[in-house]
Chains A and B, each alone.
Chain A
């Protein structure tokens, strides 16, 4: 963990949001809504919490990150570009031929991606495998995974969850990016998830519920769970807003996978910069 001030982290989160939106605008393709809802958590992980070395992306003792909701890759790419895993110019090459920034995370093309994802429901199982290896090899690294609330409609998520509990993987920390929206509408209408925190709890996870846009809460909760070597995997349900930070995108389903036009892009950057000043 690095000693970084909350003010610095908040500024960094805005920079990540702007970078992700720029990527999607330049590509005229990508998923802005979920990228913005996940931005603050991704910032806290990459710029404070995770024990990683951009110069040595395959370092075997590093903390791992699994973006199970792989379609919000732009926000992870923004973190990787700003951390120096790849030259920053790659932000202008999202979804282009030969780019490390594929439409969905590809570990073979982009340093810093610990597992390729893109098909929902599958990444968490890979995270469980990594965490299990860490336990068996008596290593101290931790595995962070991010799943979407809509993604939890996939049965495989719960297969992975029960395995993490069985093998006492307290080195696994799962964030649910609980933005309440999926492609076709509100999760509540498409397929209600009921009490997502309670579901993880009764499966045997240690759970926390936070405001996923409060850097204070994110950092504080990560500090708390770090000291819980209680044999229980951790789940942090983060209530978030899809499209957070760009007024016309917030809570609007159609911004799941659409790129802004020039005018919308300029407004987005301006609004995000406004957040920086406040």
Chain B
């Protein structure tokens, strides 16, 4: 795509969606709380702190306590959103989420910025590549990543209105806006962006835009691809995956390790059905390093070009 085309794409980080939506939700419902773990500024909770101080808690640099405190609040009917970076929100507090939130099935939301490779220049320590996979294995947990600003806002609203433990993952970096602001989203129900008979592409989060661009280019070359925005990887929209299995060839795309995330979830369905071929595009089971986010995507083959080539390869070689 040319530089001029790039310039007109509207972009916004999905952590901004959290910052904007949570204020609106908090004003409507006094039971909604935000638990910050010091990094409220970068998680975009500043406006919530300003407008709703009585529904805000900052536990300092103490993730485990933040998760436990949220569980205690939830037993009294509050709906706490624990806000931190994805790598800490999933792993540093993993056992607290398991024991005190998922085991007693409490209504706590873990809402994390800096998902996937988006904290690029922070380096491998801050890039969350295992988070969705780890949390997907906890019973009672729902795992969500919206693909753009508007879908993320809608999914946060849905999360606030739906009982149960949930993990919501946002991008640090700005990502292109795909949806109209009036588009509706349902947790656990994939959004079908394209219907095609040749191949199915299933993407989530910041990779949906890449997949959409790839699908457009494939169309130009006479290849009809289906495209799903699988914003919820658990519970997985099995019906939508089964439709893709009927097409036969599938490519999963995610800003997450290829182990245990969206790609693995789709493979589980295909293996159980005994049908369908799956190729997974994602982080290649390797830690990241300091680099621009786009460069890290490129290193791992999470690119428009690789999606196109993988699709053609599957079609040409009758995979």
Contacts and interface: CB of A to CB of B under 8 A. Distances in A.
B65 interface: yes
Nearest to B71: A126
A126 B66 CA distance: 9
Interface in B44-79: 54-55, 57, 59-60, 62, 64-65, 67-78
Contacts of A152: none
Interface in B99-118: 99-100, 103-105
B184 interface: no
A60 B76 contact: yes
B96 interface: yes
Contact of B69 (A118, A121, A125, A134): A125
A233 B72 CA distance: 16
A130 B64 contact: no
Interface in A26-71: 60, 64
Contact of B72 (A119, A121, A125, A137): A125
A160 B57 contact: no
Contact of A133 (B68, B72, B105): B72
A218 B54 CA distance: 35
B75 A115 contact: yes
Contact of B104 (A108, A136, A137): A108
A162 to B, nearest CB: 7
Interface in A88-125: 106-108, 114-119, 121-125
A203 to B, nearest CB: 13
Nearest to B63: A159
A114 B64 CA distance: 19
Nearest to A116: B104
Interface in B147-167: none
A166 to B, nearest CB: 8
Interface string A139-163: 0000000000000000110011011
B64 A125 contact: yes
Interface in B211-236: none
A233 to B, nearest CB: 13
Contacts of A156: 62, 64-65, 68, 96
Contacts of B80: 129
A127 interface: yes
A129 B73 contact: yes
Given A115-B100, A125-B67, A108 B76 contact: no
B69 A132 contact: yes
Nearest to B99: A119
Given A115-B75, A118-B99, A125 B104 contact: no
Contact of B68 (A106, A118, A129, A155): A129
A163 B59 contact: yes
Contacts of A136: 54-55
A122 B75 contact: no
Contacts of A159: 59-60, 62, 64-65
A102 to B, nearest CB: 11
B72 A128 contact: yes
B246 interface: no
B104 A129 contact: no
B95 interface: yes
A253 B211 CA distance: 61
A248 interface: no
Contacts of B95: 119, 122
Most chain-B CB neighbours within 10 Å: which of A116, A126, A137, A159? A126
B73 A132 contact: yes
A167 B77 CA distance: 19
A14 B39 CA distance: 50
A123 B59 CA distance: 16
Most chain-A CB neighbours within 10 Å: which of B77, B80, B104? B104
A162 B60 contact: yes
A130 B76 contact: yes
Contacts of A155: 64
Interface in A154-191: 155-156, 159-160, 162-163, 166-167
Contacts of A64: 75
A167 B54 CA distance: 12
A167 B58 CA distance: 10
Contacts of A122: 64, 68, 95-96, 99-100
B105 A130 contact: no
A131 B75 CA distance: 11
Nearest to A127: B72
Given A108-B105, A130-B72, A136-B54, A116 B99 contact: yes
A129 B99 contact: no
Given A122-B64, A125-B67, A132 B72 contact: yes
Given A115-B71, A132-B57, A159-B65, A126 B76 contact: no
Most chain-A CB neighbours within 10 Å: which of B68, B73, B103? B68
Given A115-B75, A129-B80, 6 more contacts: A126-B68, A126-B71, A126-B100, A129-B69, A129-B72, A166-B60
Interface of A: 60, 64, 106-108, 114-119, 121-134, 136-137, 155-156, 159-160, 162-163, 166-167
28 contacts: A64-B75, A106-B103, A108-B105, A115-B104, A116-B99, A116-B103, A116-B104, A119-B95, A123-B68, A125-B69, A127-B72, A128-B68, A128-B69, A129-B73, A129-B74, A129-B76, A129-B80, A130-B73, A131-B72, A132-B72, A134-B76, A136-B54, A156-B68, A156-B96, A159-B60, A159-B62, A163-B60, A163-B69
